[in-house]
Amino acid sequence: MEGLLIAEQLRLLAPHLPAERLPWRFPDDRTAVLPLVGERSLLIASRPPNPAVQLLDGAPEAARPRSPFQEQLRARAGGRLVAARQPQLDRVLRLRFEGEEGFVPTPPVELVVELTGRNANLVLLDEAGVILGVERQVTAERNRYRELRVGLPYVPPPPYAKLDPRTADAAVLREALAGARLAQVGRRVDGVGPLLGAALARAVVEALSAQPAAQAALETAPLEGAALDATVDQLRRLVDAPAAFLERYGGGEGPLELRASERRAQRLQRLETRARKALELARRRLADAERAVAAADEAAALRAEGDLLLAYAHQVPSGAPEARLAGFDGQPVTLKLDPKLDAAGNARQRYDQAKRREGRAERALAQLDELAAAVAAAERELERLPRLDDAELARLVAEADAERRQPGGGSHRPGIWFRGPHGFDVVVGRNARDNDRVTFEVGRSRDLWFHAQGYRGSHVIVRSGGAEVPFDTVLFAARLAAGYSEAFRSSNVPVDYTQRKNVWKVKGGAPGAVHFTQHRTVYVEPARDDAGALGG
């Protein structure tokens, strides 16, 4: 926020001082509102890049602190607001609060509000100017000129010498600006930053609309003559009423309007990120279903290989990794084998694979229309978000926040949830951090825990509820553990499983890193059946 705009807010606040006040209110983690007795409020918004202070009518609803600094502000700055000052036209406001008597008296404090763009900050000082608390700590590594840390004396931003336009008459302003370009006014006059400077330039151009020659020279020529006169005249108008001037010539966006634009952009970005994730998930589920349907074509080939193994079982050497047989059409066929199984076992393995592919294809085919509709709906949602008004965006963000706060609810519930063949919930971690949540938040002591042996991948939990888990469900969960691992393209993947009580985190390890014991191992074909997911 620029110096002249801050000074204007101080002029509006001055008649109310010293001010009786109500408790602080905190709409968000970078906004504090001080309600004053008499239906006025002082808003302090420190979020970059458009921090602001403004005296408002009314007050927001009571809201508790959102950050440790806000907790400290509420506890320390509880007395009357007795003074407010601005050093020169710096982008700094200093608010003085009385101490409070009580069971635990609090001494007077000063709140320094630095509205310095991307470096905006709030600093709480004691009577000696020592820092009691700071919203955003600044160390010597970041700023060699000054540190902002608890216990250090407060050092204000570096001073600079510019002309104060509030006390300068027209002649002094003419002398200061003569020879400068219009874009350089803020370098010579205090309190004028990029916003007010741009508004001033538009006002001067408008004032010179009847003098094309003078207007054309504004871009490059030094200020003189009619252009200098117009600049001085418009600058004095700006000094008298900066906010109104900015609203008139700055596109209607004052400090709070800019913050509203920023809030809209933040809400829109958050909702669009959420919508893109939903669209990505919907597309992935549709693609997985389409692959499952396409994989049904492989079932006939697997069954044919099984038939061939049974027909020529006597020609299949025991323990061999492959067998070369004559196909039913007379052409030679090389079949890869599991050395641990005989010909009949390898045939059964192929029949099982064919059956699973056909089952997945059947389920996926039944869901294709629904999954395609979900993709289309997600695309429409992403497309419509920029067209929504601010109230609707705020409502959607509030709904997303409420959904996230529900225990295990909404899109923030850990893992991808499946329903196993005997009705047990099977939960698959999405990533390393989600693996931690699936294992240690979702999983209970007697639940079964799965992980592909020797591969990075998802943790999988079967929620047993203390009941015995049928082996069909064990195989179902193991295939998901293999499918959601680096082994998803492999065959005959070993998957370890044990009760959740036998799994513990690696001390100091990365997210998802665990140790486990008392496990068994099954060998399965990977399955990545998003089409059967229940959500989450």
Q: Which residue has the higher pLDDT, 333 or 402?
A: 333
For the chain, give every domain's residue range.
Answer: 3-134, 170-253, 275-405, 413-535
pLDDT of residue 189: 93
Q: What is the 3-state secondary structure (H, E, C) of 376-398?
A: HHHHHHHHHHHHCCHHHHHHHHH
Q: Is the pTM of this model over 0.75?
A: no
Q: Express each pLDDT in 435-474 by its tens digit.
A: 999 999 999 999 999 999 999 999 999 999 888 899 989 9
End-to-end CA distance of the chain: 43
Q: Which residue has the higher pLDDT, 170 or 298?
A: 170
Q: How far is CA 238 from the centre of its chain?
A: 39
Q: Express each pLDDT in 284-338 by its tens digit.
A: 888 888 888 888 888 888 989 899 999 989 888 888 899 989 888 888 889 999 8
Is pLDDT above 80 for 121? yes
Which among 47, 56, 63, 60 has a CA at the least distance from the CA of 114?
Answer: 47
Contact 3, 91 (CB under 8 A): yes
Is the CATH number of domain 3-134 2.30.310.10?
yes
Residues facing 427 on adjacent strands: 417, 461
% pLDDT > 70, the chain = 91
Instruction: Calculate the CA dihedral of residues 69, 72, 78, 81 and round it to 10 degrees.
Output: -40
DSSP 419-446: E-TTS-EEEE-SSHHHHHHIIIII--TT
* Total length of the chain: 536
Q: Express each pLDDT in 57-107 by its tens digit.
A: 888 788 888 888 999 999 999 999 999 999 999 999 999 999 988 767 889
Split at pLDDT 50, 70, 90, the class of 215 is low
Q: Tokens in use for 477?
A: 């969960």
Q: What is the 3-state secondary structure (H, E, C) of 47-80?
A: CCCCCEEEEEECCCCCCCCCCHHHHHHHHHCCCC
